[in-house]
Structure 1
Amino acid sequence: MSDPSLNSLNPYLNGLYAPVREEASARDLPVIGEIPKDLHGAYFRNGPNPMSPPSGMHHWFDGDGMLHGVWFEDGRARYANRYVRTADFEAELEGSDAMPGIFAPSRRVDGRRTYYKDTANTDVIVHNGRLLALWYVSGQPVAVDAETLETIGVEDFGGDLPNNVSAHSKVDPRTGELVFFDYSLYEPKMSYGTISTDNRLIHFQEVSVPGPRLPHDMGLTENYVILHDLPVVFTDSAIRNRLWQIHVADLPTRFGVAPRKSGDVKWFEFPTSYIYHVINCWEEGDDVVMAACKMVPNGFEPDVASFGPYAPMATVLALRAQPFLWRMNMKTGKGAETQIDDGLSEFPVVNLDHSTGKARWSYHVVMDDCVLQRFSALRKYDLTTGVSEDHTFGAGVFGSEPAFAPTGPGELDGWLVTITTDLDGNSEARIIDPKNFSSPPVARIKLPKRVPAGFHATWAKAG
């Protein structure tokens, strides 16, 4: 039975975060403005959405995965939302006891060595013509139909997958290969591999790290993978004490650069920091370059009266990050870290057709509230000059991570698509011209349902 008093105090179950439990589909959505005729494809966004009221303490990251999709064709749009029906979701639906989450960790009843309910609620990518819903604690990738959002099932890549797959695994736009990473409490504590365009494992490599870590992302260039060994550890002790993560300040930040197909990992040390999200990675001569959003001290003192027992969660989730650049010279073994800008921004994306190469522009979310992660604007960065400009959503309107929809070979040839929701519960898909970024959207598509705040998004080309 749910606890209304606990749920009413949880900021991630109310307001912009309140879940929607009905699945819906709608066609020929009303449009303000005009949908570009060259926009063909779909925007998908993943996020946590508990299917029933939580019975106890609930962490934002524990909600069941729900995908929202907006499809565009010939100047028209349609919408659908569906739960990602993981094995744990189906078990609970059939009446099993609720699987453990961050505030109530324990071993899974089926014996798999994972402590939390696998929700596939974090990321969504496109590979081999299907969507893959992915989880931030490394779980089973779930294949989803890109036309209906119906769950197909666990993707094991022909039975070849030796481990799990983390959110923020990458698809190479040039080869179509999926490069994934995994981390665990158990050996191997870190690994990475490559899945071919015909869904077969073609490379897998275990990576030695000093102990269990909790990375969130990885980097990918044409020839290298960049793994993160960050000073945040994930241990049995932390789990027993109901701690989601422990920050170990006396450990350095390390990035491991390894050839994508074979070879040793070369490690580069930098001052202690944490990174949630990579902007892009590329190669310049002997340098492997990574742009990412680096966390900065938040100085947040939780308002206990406001957050009650959820004050520790709010403290950890306060998201304050700035864009930085790391250069790692494969010849000399030396690295250098520089700051791109001192403005706060996160959830960065680029035109994925230009990822793994030197993309010039990136698009980030800007928050008016770093604790509740309310995305009040988008920011476009010129990564060459550090110059930025903002696109604001308007008073009381908050967005989702955008996705770039390419329509031509140029890096700015295309459209940015995102979903916004206002404080009255009205949601829209918005189409923004990246060449006139600060201008109003060229089109606003009214959605039939409220879309709660969520996590990551992607664009799928038509066909």
Structure 2
Amino acid sequence: MLKIINEEKITISPDNDNPFLQGLFKPNAREYDADTDTLEVIGTIPNDLWGVYARNTHNQVHEPIGIYHPFDGDGMIHSAYFCDGKMQYRNRFVHTTGFLAEKAAGRALWPGVLEPERFSYRGWGAMGAMKDNAGTDVIYHNGSLLVTMSQGSEPWRMDPVTLENLGPDPVLAKAVGYAGIAGEFKVDYRTNEMVFQNYPEEPPSINVGTVDSNGNLASYRSIKFDFPRWPHDLGMTENYLIVHDLPLYFDPDLRKQGQRKLQFYPDKPSRFGVFSRSDQRSDIQWFEAKSCFILHTANYYEEGDEIIMDGCVSFEPQGPGVGEHSENPYERIMAHLDKHRTKTRLYRWRFNLKNGTTIEGFIDQEICEFPVCRNDCKGYPYRYIYASLFEAGTWNMNGIKKFDLQTGVHTRYEYGEGRYGGEVHFAPRINSQFEDDGYLIVFIQDLVLDRSEAAIFDAQALANGPLCQIILPERIQSGTHACWVEGERLKRTYPI
């Protein structure tokens, strides 16, 4: 089977010189259904691999209003469903209100993250000026994929295998309004409870919510601030939630004048608020740490009187350039994206709930980002982190590194010249016996051969390279977050 289900009309001008609309970032117009009866398979798909790997991409359709940032594009989900040694591939645009409005108009209606002041229509997210592109995060909860953008979008639902657009979750959409659900939400696979946040400018706050296993909003707490914050990640352990108050935010004085200029304040500490997961009315215990910015964390868990937080830290972050105007905005964007320039590395914080102290330090010195762990370890003690390696001077993810937190012996694999991946995820084997007993899944873009593939690695033998590569119908765009959905967690069976 190989079918083109739909093709959108890309209206981006051929004269547009934005490098984030070309090459690895070139948008896809076609939506496919395909399977391994027609796709080329190099190697053998393991018979004990069962589930769905889904990855989000910012896939711009229309000529942008103003300067395009690679996080502005329309959300498109790419999925690979594995069962009985076969694979089905699908990709679909996320039918947000913004996407459908621009489709009807035949042009862009909202500006991007760099120039929110150019908006004409009420938007979504923290600034309330952007299109809800739902192009950042994707995770599985309560029987479907939940897809959002980083600043906060309506809770868009999609079928995990067919990628049918199911619309906004009616319960959550009413609860969160335009502030939406930001990226980096977490699911406790032992209780099937989901935690999320948003951070609207009006009123300035970080709102934290929990959703029970049936999809009902269980709690929704607002943490007030004197001016808007710009966090990214959110933490969850068995008994606690952790919010990030980091010194990267809009200049407070300029914001009072209606201007947004995102700045890093190295003289101010980072703060982390810890409070009860079961009783969100409880007091927040704040911990201070070195001034930094954190995009993504791998995991949080409890150890005696301490909460352990592992993630990728930057002590020299570069903002994306919101509110800044320069002669070469593309250089400014790349400075923000280049992990070698921001020196992003794996780090550990220990928050002592008894005496209020913080102990922190590096786990490793190699540049990496997008750290993940096995799904059923989220919020609990664990041993392995899998993160993406980065090519210097670019946003391109050129390999995988596996961190063994117990032995300190780390292994790695680089994809090869002109080959770049996205966020990698761990997929346990059927009847998996050990934490790393399974596979690593990633979509790889090959610029040399102008194609993409779904690559499968043995998690216990990463350095040996892929066990299998399934060539996709066309080269797909660079993306951000992905997720793995175990077969037994799917609500119903999808035979191939």
Distance 2:173 2:61 in 1: 30
Provide, for residues 189-229 of structure 1, a one-character-per-residue CA deviation record: whole Å limited to 9, x for no partner: 11111101111111121113342111111111111111100
Q: CA deviation at 1:89?
A: 0.6
Which residue does 1:294 correspond to in 2?
313
Give the AA of the match of 1:256: G
Give the AA of the match of 2:334: A
Change (3 A) 1:386 1:241: farther
Give the AA of the match of 2:116: P
Distance 1:159 1:134 in 2: 12
Which residue does 1:248 correspond to in 2?
265
Distance 1:122 1:269 in 2: 29
What is the number of equivalent residue pairs in this alignment?
454
Structure 2 matches for 1:14-413, cutoff 5 A? 14-28=22-36, 29-95=39-105, 98-106=109-117, 109-110=121-122, 114-157=128-171, 161-163=175-177, 164-187=180-203, 189-234=205-250, 237=254, 243=261, 245-262=262-279, 263-297=282-316, 308-319=328-339, 320-369=343-392, 371-407=393-429, 408-413=432-437
Q: CA deviation at 1:158?
A: 5.9
SS in 2 for 1:88: helix
C-alpha contact (below 8 Å) 2:208/2:222 kept by paired residues: yes
Distance 1:277 1:297 in 2: 15
Distance 2:102 2:229 in 1: 29
SS in 2 for 1:79: strand
TM-score by length of 1: 0.93
SS in 2 for 1:340: strand
Distance 2:330 2:250 in 1: 21
TM-score by length of 2: 0.87
Q: CA deviation at 1:409?
A: 4.4
C-alpha contact (below 8 Å) 2:65/2:108 kept by paired residues: no
Distance 1:430 1:296 in 2: 33
Provide, for residues 364-416 of structure 1, a one-character-per-residue CA deviation record: whole Å limited to 9, x for no partner: 100113x4211111000012343311112122211111111122242112111
User: Which ranges in structure 1 are unaligned for 5 or more consecutive residues?
Assistant: none
Distance 1:299 1:57 in 2: 18
C-alpha contact (below 8 Å) 2:123/2:132 kept by paired residues: no
Q: CA deviation at 1:57?
A: 1.8
SS in 2 for 1:214: coil
Change (3 A) 1:223 1:58: same
Matched, 1:445 2:453: no
Provide, for residues 273-311 of structure 1, a one-character-per-residue CA deviation record: whole Å limited to 9, x for no partner: 0000001110000101100100143799x9xxxx94422
Provide, for residues 312-350 of structure 1, a one-character-per-residue CA deviation record: whole Å limited to 9, x for no partner: 222222223111100001111111111111111101111
Q: CA deviation at 1:56?
A: 3.6
Distance 1:122 1:275 in 2: 16
SS in 2 for 1:254: strand
SS in 1 for 2:24: helix
C-alpha contact (below 8 Å) 1:212/1:235 kept by paired residues: no
Q: CA deviation at 1:159?
A: 5.9
Change (3 A) 1:232 1:426: same
Distance 1:49 1:389 in 2: 32
Give the AA of the match of 1:82: R
Distance 2:108 2:317 in 1: 37
Distance 1:78 1:2 in 2: 30
Q: What is the root-mean-square deviation in Å for CA atoms of aligned residues? A: 2.3
Structure 2 matches for 1:394-433, cutoff 5 A? 394-407=416-429, 408-424=432-448, 425-433=450-458
C-alpha contact (below 8 Å) 1:85/1:151 kept by paired residues: yes
Provide, for residues 168-193 of structure 1, a one-character-per-residue CA deviation record: whole Å limited to 9, x for no partner: 01000110011111111122511111
Q: CA deviation at 1:250?
A: 2.5
Distance 2:470 2:153 in 1: 34
Which stretch shifts more, 117-126 or 148-157?
148-157
Distance 2:142 2:111 in 1: 32
Q: CA deviation at 1:23?
A: 1.1
Distance 2:78 2:404 in 1: 30
Distance 1:240 1:388 in 2: 48
Give the AA of the match of 1:420: I
Distance 1:240 1:48 in 2: 28
Distance 1:454 1:362 in 2: 20
Give the AA of the match of 1:350: C
Give the AA of the match of 2:34: A
Identity of aligned residues (%): 37
C-alpha contact (below 8 Å) 1:220/1:281 kept by paired residues: yes
Change (3 A) 1:327 1:372: same
SS in 2 for 1:363: strand
SS in 2 for 1:61: coil
SS in 2 for 1:161: helix
Change (3 A) 1:97 1:62: closer
Give the AA of the match of 1:372: T
Q: CA deviation at 1:4?
A: 4.3
C-alpha contact (below 8 Å) 2:72/2:112 kept by paired residues: yes
